Homo-oligomer: A and B are copies of this chain.
Amino acid sequence: MKMLICCSFDGSNYHGYQVQRGGGVTVQSELNRAARELFGYECDIVGCSRTDAGVHARMFCAAISKRGRSDLPTALPPTKLPRALSAHLPEDICVYNAVEVEDEFHPRYAVIAKEYEYRYFVREVRDPFESNRSWHMPLPLHPDAVVKMNRAAAHFCGKHDFTSFMAQGSKIVDATRTVYQAGVTQEGNVMTFRVCADGFLYHMVRIMAGTLIECVTGQAPRDPDSIPAVIAAHDRASAGRTAPAHGLYLNRVEYPNHIFL
């Protein structure tokens, strides 16, 4: 049987999750190396999504099996796997869980929901501990920033065609996605936008994050209640800029219970 592993990684030093044609170190290439070192054979490791360079993950799922097969021959019980694999990984990647799943399981197609988080650090001067972990907002924001952004975010909820929030040039035919939850909270100097949906388009969360911040910055901020019109426009140009990758975290990936053995 296949194994599903849960990883977390600080994406700062990686060219994204997926192995690249041009080379470059990726999270997947590190997982491949670690698995080869631990098991003594090549593995197929299939991730739950692609992530851009610099994007982080608190929970990223991948299926692992011996190359060309649907099982993972090993004497190690699943409970020992996380620590054993992590021992072969660099400090900025770890595997913290492993469970057996059915052979037909595909970590990308089986996803029923994912949650992303986007972090803004709001202070005149940047913070060394937030370097590469949030988007620094040095501007004084509107005093009710969280309230306004939260109001704007609420409009993302529901089933919509999110073409306005999709990177130009994407080859997606149907841009309809269902957003289950979307909101903005603040703790100290950090504002956090969390969004949960059945699926996401390329750059969707980063464009949402870039649009939300435009509701509380600049001379003529966006009206939080203009979001429905932005969605309805089906036009990338109507939304805001794409927020930088280093503020984005994949928080959670959800699968149906039946896949677990």
Contact = CB atoms under 8 A, between A and B. Distances in A.
Given A92-B131, A93-B128, 19 more contacts: A8-B127, A8-B128, A8-B129, A10-B128, A10-B129, A10-B131, A58-B129, A82-B125, A83-B138, A86-B125, A91-B126, A91-B131, A91-B132, A92-B128, A94-B127, A94-B128, A95-B125, A96-B125, A129-B133
A104 interface: no
Interface of A: 8-10, 56, 58, 82-83, 86, 91-96, 123-129, 131-133, 138
Contacts of A128: 8-10, 91-94
A37 to B, nearest CB: 17
A58 B129 CA distance: 9
Nearest to A138: B83
Number of copies: 2
Contacts of A124: 82-83, 96
Contacts of A94: 125-128
Contacts of A93: 128
Contacts of A8: 127-129
B82 A96 contact: no
Contacts of A126: 86, 91, 94
A91 B86 CA distance: 28
Contacts of A138: 83
Nearest to A131: B91
A126 B56 CA distance: 16
Interface centre among A94, A124, A125 (most CB of B within 10 A): A125
Contact of A123 (B9, B56, B96): B96
Specify which of A10, A86, A128 lies most central, judged by the most chain B CB atoms within 10 Å of its CB. A128
A128 B86 CA distance: 10
A10 B58 CA distance: 21
Nearest to A82: B125
Contacts of A86: 125-126
A8 B131 CA distance: 12
A7 to B, nearest CB: 9
A95 B92 CA distance: 27
13 contacts: A8-B128, A8-B129, A10-B131, A56-B129, A82-B125, A83-B124, A83-B138, A91-B132, A92-B128, A93-B128, A96-B124, A96-B125, A96-B127
Q: Which of A9, A82, A124, A129 has the most CB atoms of chain B within a 10 A radius of its CB?
A: A129
